[in-house]
Amino acid sequence: MLLEKLALPEKLISVLRSEGIEKLNPPQIAAVKKGLLERKNLVVASPTASGKTLIAEIAILKNFLEGRKSIYLVPLKALASEKFTEFKKYKKMGMKVGVATGDLDSSDGWLGRSDLIIASNEKMDSLLRHNSTWVKDISLIVSDEVHVINDPSRGPTLEIVLTQLAGMTNSQILALSATIQNADEIANWLNAGLVKSDYRPVKLNKGVMYPDESGHIIEFGRKKSKITADNESDIDLCIDTIKKEKQSLVFTSTRRSAEKSAERIGEKTKILLNQGERQKLKKLAKNIESALPSPTKQCRRLAKIVEGGAAFHHAGLMPTQRKLIEDSFRAGLLRTISSTPTLAFGMNLPAYRVLIKDVKRFSQGYGAAFIPVMEIHQMMGRAGRPKYDKEGEAILLAKAQTEAKILWDKYVQGEAEEVYSKLGVERALRVYTLSLIASEFVRTKTELKEFFTRTFFANQYGDIEKIEGKLERVLKELESYKFIIIGEKGEFISKDFMPAFQLSQSTPLKATKIGKRVSELYIDPISANLILTVMSDEDTNIHNLMTICQCDEMKPLLNPRKAEYEELEVQLAHNDMEAPDIWDVEYEDFLSSFKTALLLQDWIDEAGEDKILERYNVTPGELYNKTSRAEWMLYAASELALIINVRDIANNLNKTKLQIKYGVREELLKLVALKGIGRVRARKLYREGIKSAKDITIVDETTLAKILGPKIAKEVKAAAQ
């Protein structure tokens, strides 16, 4: 439908036209008709690439033109960066666009000057804990990928954030979702209209492929096609795709299988490249390999695969490597990416064909189980590029015709599962009960109960009876940690069982000074209590690292093999630590924490990424994630030490934090603090007797150039002045 036929403000039509938009598609029209421009709450549930983002943009633009502030919430940092890049185009019309995903211990007052704020759900939660004053000015909340509320780790955060924002602002809420079975429940919770559509601008053909005597058979319902079986099914399908001058995404269940898949495909598809492509890919491969000062075995393997026009993509890569792969795929240079399912969520990285190799996932304690239909549909949704294709293909790879029938019935014909609240998990209740009390969003037990009755959990189950007992236990626990005070003078709650909310419903709830700081630091109260309990004058790095590695925030930990137990026991004795008895149920967890602490100690001792990969089988991307989490937890521990006024311990923890940040021993800290000097250059300077900024200012530039090279020497000299 043309823009003129809709009741859109003329200025909004002008802005949309400047972006090349002349008409809206069915879900966009339905959203307008259901009150998008009248500030009505809406849940839009439609397939990938169906234009949900434009619906949000229309609401954001109208909000901006009326002088109002909008916030765009996303589940992933990478998605926030992508949306920021996408929405920067509106700066030309005067819109101030800000993005916030990082520091979780800041109120970020500068965001108040932005008209549109793009934030991760976790960052928004942190801003609410810090009582950011500009939050009250928000009048439009866009929640992208709202079905993430079903995720046990991320869902409770989004649910709490939306419940809080709805209670403290007079905002229009626009929730965007993939097609889910019970979108009406989310709409009912948010008091929103529902726009549900199967529309896609690019037709999606869903099918299964299996081998027979004559080749690979692909079935799209009644339609069948065949390709020659020269190799394994995924390789032949990727070759066929390249011959069509199109691209493929291959989804596997594990990082290892993604790497193996990319390697096998790249070996066969490189012969299809022309000379110009080979040269460009060689340059890309060089950039990927040099993402680290010392390339690891994984870096070199990825670079070699990339030269063949293929790549693998997973969380074990460095962020710079992932971005190079994503950008090169969007540009059409890379023809095939083999990835874990994480690439299916949110990122705008479509391909003509999506191949799904694995439909089962292994999990500890449960074994191999079928991947949920909703996740498979998310992967399938990557097929079909709106700007390039009229149709896309999503193909499940089966080992035989009998398996193909099972996959067809379950994933092609099957409907996505319903979304369920995960707020009833006790850890989530503990974390968010403290945050609500600490931010003074609730001040009594009545208000706490009323808050939880407004959540999706209560809406879905009719009331909060199922969690009232848990809330009572959480309050007892927080009081026992001295993080909250219950009652005017701190009425102690008996540890014995009592019915939920036995005390007066008007009983005041107040966070202590340390409880408020725990909430602001964005850590689990149990972790905070553990840190405070084991905190001591022991000033070794390994002790500090062992402390944080026993916190849930550091999971997943490294699992030691049985053959390593003896060596780990020796290391424990060497570091004057004592493990639980071997029959103790905590023994294995303790060794896992200790092995992870040893990994971090090796990083501090300046072991390179290649050595860590060889010794611990931890990839650069995994190492980056672990050191980032360790840095945050050490910062939190240092802040807790300051609160209880043990400055020597705080200083020691802060020193270990800086060593983790830079990956250096203590003597290099003064050097790595200077711009342009990393761990490798710092060690070179130290060996030459240059140990501080003062030494750099004294030494002549010629001597410095011999150590670092002329260009770097000049930059370092300037930084030290």
C-alpha angle 562-566-569 in degrees, rounded to nearest 5? 120
Give 178's pLDDT tier (boundaries 50, 70, 90): confident
Lowest-confidence segment of 243-247, 532-536, 556-560 by average pLDDT: 532-536
- HSE (side-chain half, CA atoms, 13 Å) at 481: 26
pLDDT digits (tens, 9 = 90+) for 392-408: 999 999 999 999 999 99
pLDDT digits (tens, 9 = 90+) for 682-692: 999 999 999 98
Give 155's pLDDT tier (boundaries 50, 70, 90): very high
Tokens representing 257 are: 């299988």
Q: Which residues contact 171 (CB under 8 A, 6 or more apart)?
A: 138, 139, 140, 141, 165
User: What's the confidence (pLDDT) of residue 346?
Assistant: 60
Domain locations in the chain?
3-196, 203-412, 426-520, 525-663, 672-720
Is the pLDDT assigned to residue 230 strictly greater than 50?
yes
Q: Which residue has the higher pLDDT, 281 or 47?
A: 281
Mean pLDDT score, 84-99: 91
pLDDT digits (tens, 9 = 90+) for 473-502: 999 999 999 999 998 765 444 334 333 444
Q: Which residues contact 28 (CB under 8 A, 6 or more apart)?
A: 51, 54, 55, 58
Greatest mean pLDDT among 224-233, 382-391, 417-426:
417-426
User: What's the confidence (pLDDT) of residue 535?
Assistant: 85
Q: 426-520, which class in CATH?
A: mainly alpha
Is the pLDDT assigned to residue 292 strictly greater than 70?
yes
- What CA–CA distances, in Å, run from 144 to 46, 202, 621? 12, 21, 26
- How many Cβ atoms sit within 10 Å of the Cβ of residue 53? 17
Mean pLDDT score, 42-49: 91
Mean pLDDT score, 430-445: 95
CA 238 to chain centre: 29
pLDDT digits (tens, 9 = 90+) for 660-679: 999 999 999 999 988 888 89
User: What's the confidence (pLDDT) of residue 495?
Assistant: 38
Alpha carbon distance 406, 693 (integer Å) = 67
Question: Which secondary-structure segment (H or E) carries 141?
Answer: strand 138-143
Is the pLDDT assigned to residue 261 strictly greater than 90?
yes
Alpha carbon distance 474, 448 (integer Å) = 12
Give 271's pLDDT tier (boundaries 50, 70, 90): very high
- What CA–CA distances, in Å, run from 481 to 468, 471, 539? 20, 15, 25
Q: Counting every residue, how long is the chain?
A: 721
- What CA–CA distances, in Å, run from 585 to 99, 568, 579, 589? 44, 17, 12, 8
User: What's the confidence (pLDDT) of residue 500?
Assistant: 41
Q: 3-196, which class in CATH?
A: alpha beta
* Identity at 202, one-letter amino acid code: V
C-alpha angle 290-83-315 in degrees, rounded to nearest 5? 40
* 8 Å CB contact between 433 and 475: yes
- Specify the residue for token string 């007992």: 469
User: What's the confidence (pLDDT) of residue 491?
Assistant: 47
C-alpha angle 542-547-550 in degrees, rounded to nearest 5? 120
Percent of the chain whose predicted confidence (pLDDT) is above 90: 68
- What CA–CA distances, in Å, run from 323 to 87, 101, 256, 469, 528? 18, 17, 20, 46, 35
User: What's the confidence (pLDDT) of residue 667?
Assistant: 95
Domain 672-720: CATH superfamily, name plus number? 5' to 3' exonuclease, C-terminal subdomain (1.10.150.20)
* Identity at 281, one-letter amino acid code: L
User: What's the confidence (pLDDT) of residue 490?
Assistant: 55
Is the pLDDT assigned to residue 64 strictly greater than 90?
yes
Q: Which residue has the higher pLDDT, 368 or 272?
A: 272
User: What's the confidence (pLDDT) of residue 364?
Assistant: 65
User: What's the confidence (pLDDT) of residue 315?
Assistant: 87
Is the pLDDT assigned to residue 350 strictly greater than 90?
no
Alpha carbon distance 633, 639 (integer Å) = 10
User: What's the confidence (pLDDT) of residue 348?
Assistant: 76
The two domains 3-196 and 203-412 share their CATH topology (first three levels equal): yes
- What CA–CA distances, in Å, run from 104 to 80, 114, 524? 15, 19, 13
- How many Cβ atoms sit within 10 Å of the Cβ of residue 627? 18
Alpha carbon distance 153, 137 (integer Å) = 29
Q: 203-412, which class in CATH?
A: alpha beta
DSSP for 613-653 reads HHHH---HHHHHHHHHHHHHHHHHHHHHHHHTT-HHHHHHH
Mean pLDDT score, 414-434: 93
- What CA–CA distances, in Å, run from 35 to 7, 16, 26, 41, 56? 11, 19, 15, 8, 13
Q: Which residues contact 701 (CB under 8 A, 6 or more apart)?
A: 713, 714, 717
User: What's the confidence (pLDDT) of residue 341?
Assistant: 86
- What CA–CA distances, in Å, run from 646 to 542, 633, 638, 641? 19, 17, 9, 5
User: What's the confidence (pLDDT) of residue 1?
Assistant: 63
Calculate Rg over the CA atoms of the chain. Answer: 28
User: What's the confidence (pLDDT) of residue 498?
Assistant: 37
Is the pLDDT assigned to residue 79 strictly greater than 80?
yes
Question: Which secondary-structure segment (H or E) carries 281?
Answer: helix 275-289
Is the pLDDT assigned to residue 113 strictly greater than 80?
yes
Peptide bond between residue 556 and the one before it cis (omega within 30 degrees of 0): yes
Cβ burial of 545 (10 Å; 0-12, 13-18, 19+) is buried
User: What's the confidence (pLDDT) of residue 467?
Assistant: 87
Give 471's pLDDT tier (boundaries 50, 70, 90): very high
How is domain 525-663 classified at the architecture level of CATH?
A: Orthogonal Bundle (1.10)
User: What's the confidence (pLDDT) of residue 463?
Assistant: 81
Lowest-confidence segment of 30-39, 486-495, 507-516, 517-526 by average pLDDT: 486-495
User: What's the confidence (pLDDT) of residue 9?
Assistant: 78
- How many Cβ atoms sit within 10 Å of the Cβ of residue 289? 18
